[in-house]
Amino acid sequence: MPDAGTRRAGLQIRGLHVGYRTDRGVLQALRGVDLDVEPGERVGLVGESGSGKTTVVSALLGLLPADARVTGEVHLDGDVLPIDERTPATAAAWRAVRGRRLAAVPQGAMSGLHPAHRVDREVAEVITVHTGADRGAALERAHELLDRVGLGGRATHSFPHELSGGMRQRVALAAALACSPEVLIADEPTVGLDAVTAARFLELLLERQADDGFGLLIVSHDLRTVHGACHRLAVAYAGRIVESAPTDRLVEAAVHPYASGLLAAAPSLSDGGWSAIPGTAPDLVEPPIGCAFAVRCPHTRDECSGTSPTPVAIGEHRVECHLVGTDTDLGELVSAAVTEFPTVERRPAGAVGEPIVIVTGLHKTYRSRRWFTHTDTEALVDVDLELRSGEIVGLVGSSGSGKSTLARTLFGLVTPDSGSIVVDGEQLVGIGRRDLRRVRRRLALVHQDPYGSLHPAMPVVDLVAEPLAIDGMSRPERRRRALEALALVGLDPAGDLGDRRAGQLSGGQRQRIALARALVSEPVVMVLDEPMSMLDASVRAGIAQALLDVRDAVDLAIVVITHDLAEATATCDRIIVLDHGRVVEQGAVADLLVEHSHPATRQLFELAADPTRAPIVMSSPSEGEPGHVRTS
């Protein structure tokens, strides 16, 4: 952390209020946010979806919509940013700040990179726009920047789609560093990345921050991932910063029940237990009069629903909670809320049935051609595995390990070069299109993105029942089956939920709906592709609970594809570890927790224990990232 004697103004946010006009009224996204990022300091801003994190980023970058209502002040090294003005005159003022003095690494680098531009020209364009450098000088500087973030050689002349997620994120970082900003905002920088790639990127980000001395604001919904990278943490809820403190202090002794709930909302390798914060965030069109967390808090008092809590600060620890009085010593107060939230504990499967899927000697090589060379990537190499009814199997590995290719091969979407796949007694490899469609009816896929995989305007019951329409089943029968499936995944169909639209529901509710939609056709195998990676930490335990309930209630095999070994050990009965297309280790969770020998498995366990722990040896992108294996 910066020395107290050398601190400068840095970034200061004071009393920031932001409201968005809606058909129902003004949605009060931010309700008086105070936040500082000092030069050389690393600050983490964490909270669930709807807590106001994205609005803070938009306000800092001058990207709020024209009709947003804004009050408050933002200072950057003493200069006042025109956050409350969105006119052509202030657009020029923002261009002098955004990208030059205050830069950002956006969430999902692919969305921030032009798909038709080579990445070196993408970075060079940032330099040209902000500094006026000629094309040659800008390209030279772009190559230097890309080299600093670990990209060199052919990768610098690649298009974004030719690079892995981790490599694209490095390109976005190079572009953000192009003009030596005073403050860098990393918005969900590791979302969608596997544990190894995320650790490498965080290591790289911290190296660049240490070398250049800029202030760093890391915005994330996953407290477990960012806390090891930050000097200080600020926890956002319902448009307020409810607790902020030096990282060690907050992690060891979180006071606000919401902050302690976020800390507990992560699986533990030691006992497999993890907690879910019940309920959902309040409606900020009509925010509560008192504490916004009161309806979800296990420590609610009478005053919680009637008056807003008074902020209390003891040194650098600040909290807004009725548990804390103005004369309370925060050093002696630690919330007991962690133990009072509903907890999911690892529980063993019952009777496991016969193999439903048998994979033998599966091999798949991808070949890509560019000019006079071609690249061969061995996606699957002699894969053997079995899936049995009554168990949850975790398919674990870093990006490029072959998880997605194996899943697509199981569904007949990828044809293997050799090998055998038997599903419920039928050979899948080499069968005709009509038979393939029939076999696929016994398989179900739950996609990674609960927002993009469901039609936002369809009623929930119709979404769940839709797969049954192909059978010619009557509408009343389809509705009955859909309601049963919704109840099975923990959603109460008795109210108006079934008639609501998916676009009106939370991420956790949508993912449960996706589960129900997969189950309604009574499959023998259900494959879930990263089912929790895009969900808030506080709702992941609820999805894990739903999976365990489905396993115990329905006779089918469940496959969970994930890069998070901690989630896999907390949810699954058996784990299969893939590395470079090979099954390198597999076994029951209890056995792997005690003994695991392969280096890939050891690294995944180390990162599950500490997500910010970078690999001992940081490979170059051409070796450590998928996509460039062998060229001839």
pTM over 0.85: no
| DSSP character string of 193-262 | --HHHHHHHHHHHHHHHHHH--EEEEEES-HHHHGGG-SEEEEEETTEEEEEEEHHHHHH---SHHHHHH
* Beta-bridge partners for 233: 44, 245
* The predicted structure's pLDDT at residue 359: 93
Q: What is the DSSP letter of 613?
A: P
CB proximity list for 476: less than 8 A, separation 6 or greater = none
Radius of gyration of the chain (CA): 25
What is the 3 state secondary structure string of 267-334?
Answer: CCCCCCCEECCCCCCCCCCCCCCCCCCHHHCCCCCHHHHCCCCCEEEECCEEEECCCCCCCCCHHHCC
Q: Which two tokens stand for residue 583?
A: 């099954």
Give the pLDDT of residue 6: 41
Tokens of 516: 């129900």
Give the chain's length.
632
* Contact (CB, 8 A) for 328 and 312: yes
In this prediction, residue 616 carries a pLDDT of 32
Q: Three-state DSSP class for 28?
A: strand
Strand, coil or helix: 458: coil
User: In what helix (H) or strand (E) does residue 145 lie, and over which residues does it extend?
Assistant: helix 135-148
Q: What is the pLDDT of residue 323?
A: 81
What stretches in the chain show pLDDT beneath 70?
1-9, 86-89, 108-111, 270-273, 325-340, 345-346, 368-373, 493-498, 504, 610-632
CA distance 301 to 307: 11
CA 513 distance to own-chain centroid: 19
Residues 6+ apart with CB under 8 A from 3: none
DSSP string for residues in 380-434: EEEEEEEEETT-EEEEE--TTSSHHHHHHHHTTSS--SEEEEEETTEE-TT--HH
Encode 236-248: b = buried (16+ Cβ within 10 Å), e = exposed: bbbbbbbbbbbbe
